[in-house]
Structure 1
Amino acid sequence: MLHTAAIRHVKSYKQDNPAAINIVQTEDEISASFELLKIVHRYNKSNGWTLLIAPDHIPSRDLLDSCSIDTNKLLVIRRKHIVDVEYVLNCALQNGRYCAIITWTDIVNQNQLEKMQLNTHQAKAQLFCFTSDEEQAQLAVPHVM
């Protein structure tokens, strides 16, 4: 039987609900970078990998190094190198080797998030999907606070 999971809108420091899909709203690129660093730093101490399916300009290697992020536990894949992003995300969520998967709403659309929501009852990792305020107005997925 399929179980629905809550998609919640959070800042990375609000982690009281173990939902597998987390929408991280940011106002601009600077706040997105800070939130990204908080999430990566938090999961960098875990046993699993952090998978980052990212646009070309994110993250900066210098920024990660300056914040003492262990890049040996961070796997960065550029969107242009993935044929089926939904398949990759679903596999990563179910695979026990990842503790966090991070992506952006310009990479994953609303329909893909809704489909993934149905499969999160077996998720072994947290999915963080970054969105800006402008994109959030168009992304109308239900959320839990």
Structure 2
Amino acid sequence: MLQPITLRTVKSYQQDKLSSSVNVIQIEDEISATFELLKVLHHYNNQNAWTLLIAPDHVPSKALLDSCSIDTTKLLVIRQKHLVNLEYVLNSALHNGNFAAVITWTDIVKDNQLANLSINLEQASAKLYCFTNNESSVELALAQ
């Protein structure tokens, strides 16, 4: 059953308890993406759950994460080139209870996938964050 979703454009420090929304984080470049990503990872670092990062190639290195005190033993990184079924991975991670957050980019999750997201976020145990540097992606998703 398809359910409408709510999209929120946030900065990573604007955390809340709403699990029924896709948190879209607007970024300008790779540097701002790295800072915002580190903020989200740091927020979920102390929870007793995994963080899934569905990542493009330019994500921060393990050395950078270690230097920022991010516990990489709780971080599962799947590179875009290794991903076969994105919707299955998103659905599984959001609903299986082992993940606190799922983080991805609009380069990976296309506009139509984001707009037609067919997972029930009301019952999701994890928060979904989607980084974008394309303002039209956010506007298109919000208009749906």
Residue number in structure 2 paired with 1:13: 13
Paired residue type of 1:136:
E
Output one character per residue of 1:49-102: Cα deviation in whole Å (capped at 9) or x when no partner: 000010122121111011011100000010111111111111111110000000
- Identity of matched residues, %: 59
TM-score by length of 1: 0.89
The separation in 2 between residues aligned to 1:48 and 1:3, in whole angstroms, is: 26
TM-score by length of 2: 0.89
Residue number in structure 2 paired with 1:122: 123
Task: Report how many aligned residue pairs link the two structures.
Answer: 141
* Cα separation, partners in 2 of 1:131 and 1:107, compared to 1, 3 Å: same
Q: Does 1:30 align with 2:31?
A: yes
CA contact (8 A) 1:20 1:123 kept: no
Residue number in structure 1 paired with 2:42: 41
The separation in 1 between residues aligned to 2:14 and 2:67, in whole angstroms, is: 24
Q: Which residues of structure 2 form unaligned runs of 5+?
A: none
Residue number in structure 2 paired with 1:136: 135
CA contact (8 A) 1:10 1:22 kept: yes
SS of the residue 1:99 aligns to: strand
My pick for the range that moved more, 54-63 or 110-119, is 110-119
Paired residue type of 2:27:
T
The separation in 2 between residues aligned to 1:115 and 1:100, in whole angstroms, is: 20
The separation in 2 between residues aligned to 1:92 and 1:36, in whole angstroms, is: 18
**Cα distance, 1:3 vs. partner?**
4.0
Question: Aligned runs of 1:93-132 on 2, under 5 Å?
Answer: 93-116=94-117, 119-132=120-133
CA contact (8 A) 1:4 1:120 kept: no
